[in-house]
Structure 1
Amino acid sequence: MGKAERTRQFIIETAAPIFNRKGIAGTAISDILEATKLAKGGLYGNFSSKEEMVMEVFDYIADQEKRRLKAITAGEATAIGKFEALFTYYARYPDGRQVAGGCPMINFGAEADDTNPGLKKKVSDLIRYFESRIEQLVQFGKDTGEFRKDWDEKQFAILMFAMLEGAILITGMMNNNKQMLVVLDFLRKEIKRHTK
């Protein structure tokens, strides 16, 4: 990686938690300049606009989220073990976050909904990725004989993802994880109901 690429990556990594915490509209270019200690020319020499920076920041965050999801489940050999590893992680939320500032799908999605079709697509793609990983875990459990073959993995993936995202939002608002623990208990029971 050359100097220009390293500088660009440094800007993206430095800007990611700022955009995730303060929002797109709430983040001024001066916030990024202060955090990176770069001059305006250094910033605009790497990005043509704030919009371009936001898109690349979200790509970086999405990659971090995907890596985190894989890492959480990697050490488990069974589908049930992989689900339990996820639930253990979410029970401690927001500990272990790769990028500070809460869930980027909620944060960026709320701002992109009606104003930024390109960013909305990126957030939608990340949501689909998370749902597909849940589907794959259910299918893995079916293939290994842990789960009943008639379990609808697509429906469960939508249910699990929506419940976790809702619980993440509430956890942040209430400053406690009481609702998250209720959601995780429900999901554990749902998995047990489909276990052979």
Structure 2
Amino acid sequence: MTKEHIIRESAGLFNTKGYIGASLSDIMDRCGIGKGGIYNHFENKDEIALAAFDYSFSQIRLLLSKELQVAADSKQKLQAICKVYVEMIESNVLEGGCPLLNTAIESDDGHPVLKERAQHAMKILFEQLTKIINEGIQNKEFRSDIDPEEVCSYIIAVIEGGIMLSKLFDDSKYIRHCSSNVMKYVDHEMMNI
């Protein structure tokens, strides 16, 4: 229980303050645990950061999974993905926004292991999105000449950009605009008419 508590609390802390900004003292204060209690479960701050990132990413996957289960077709699955990211910002489901975005930016040059973990997580999202797009092509919902990798790059870049702007300006209109533009792209560039 204590280890899980440390991971959950640290996830929000790292996602708001960043790896560099969150100190071991911050973790102890937030968790209400002394240094010995932390070191009973983790060797160092790096280990906590990796576990916290994994936890945060698992929460995104859980949110996506719930929405994707009720989507009837590929287009609805893409709408569901947009919905999850809008809710992530508007309901503050994950404290600090998208941990993938935050970790990718912060770990770019300063923390190679955390960067590798973020890359792995993004590859998982790419695979999930590619599967949805390929299903849409196979079901003749989407055009057969679209490039799934190109579409994935576009959708993820637009959504993550919307999250960044919404967090920067404390206004969810940006993620809403970007989600709307993703669905316009789906309607105008991907649908098999």
Match of 1:54 in 2: 49
Match of 1:187 in 2: 182
Which residue identity lines up with residue 7 of structure 1 in the other structure? T
| Partner deviation per Cα, 1:116-146 (whole Å, 9 max, x = no partner) | 1111000111112222222111111112221
Aligned-residue CA RMSD (Å): 1.7
The structural deviation recorded for 1:92 is 4.2
Which residue identity lines up with residue 195 of structure 1 in the other structure? M
What SS class does the counterpart of residue 114 from structure 1 fall into? helix
| Partner deviation per Cα, 1:1-42 (whole Å, 9 max, x = no partner) | xxxxx2211111121101111111111212211222212111
When structure 1 is superposed on structure 2, of 46-55 and 169-178 the one drifting more is 169-178
Higher helix share: 2
Match of 2:38 in 1: 43
Q: Is the 8 A contact 2:166 2:174 kept in 1?
A: yes
Match of 2:102 in 1: 107
Q: Is the 8 A contact 1:68 1:98 kept in 2?
A: no
Q: Is the 8 A contact 1:64 1:98 kept in 2?
A: no
Of 157, 165, 173, the match for 2:168: 173
Question: Partners in 2 of 1:108 and 1:89 — Cα distance?
Answer: 19
Match of 1:18 in 2: 13
After TM superposition, the score normalised by the length of structure 2 is 0.91
Question: Partners in 1 of 2:90 and 2:174 — Cα distance?
Answer: 16
Q: Give unmatched runs, 5+ long, in structure 1.
A: 1-5
Query: Could you say if the C-alpha distance between residues 39 and 181 of structure 1 is closer, same or farther in structure 2, counting changes exceeding 3 Å?
Result: closer
Of 53, 64, 68, the match for 1:73: 68
Q: Is the 8 A contact 1:167 1:179 kept in 2?
A: yes
After TM superposition, the score normalised by the length of structure 1 is 0.89
The structural deviation recorded for 1:98 is 4.0
Which residue identity lines up with residue 15 of structure 1 in the other structure? S
User: What stretches of structure 1 move > 4 A for 4+ residues in a row?
Assistant: none
Match of 2:2 in 1: 7
Query: Could you say if the C-alpha distance between residues 92 and 56 of structure 1 is closer, same or farther in structure 2, counting changes exceeding 3 Å?
Result: closer
Percent identical = 27
Q: Is the 8 A contact 1:65 1:98 kept in 2?
A: no
When structure 1 is superposed on structure 2, of 47-56 and 183-192 the one drifting more is 183-192
Q: Is the 8 A contact 1:168 1:180 kept in 2?
A: yes
2:84 is equivalent to residue 89 of structure 1? yes
Q: Give unmatched runs, 5+ long, in structure 2.
A: none
Counting matched residue pairs gives 191
The structural deviation recorded for 1:101 is 0.9
Question: Partners in 2 of 1:62 and 1:92 — Cα distance?
Answer: 15
Which residue identity lines up with residue 38 of structure 1 in the other structure? I
When structure 1 is superposed on structure 2, of 95-104 and 133-142 the one drifting more is 95-104
The structural deviation recorded for 1:60 is 1.3
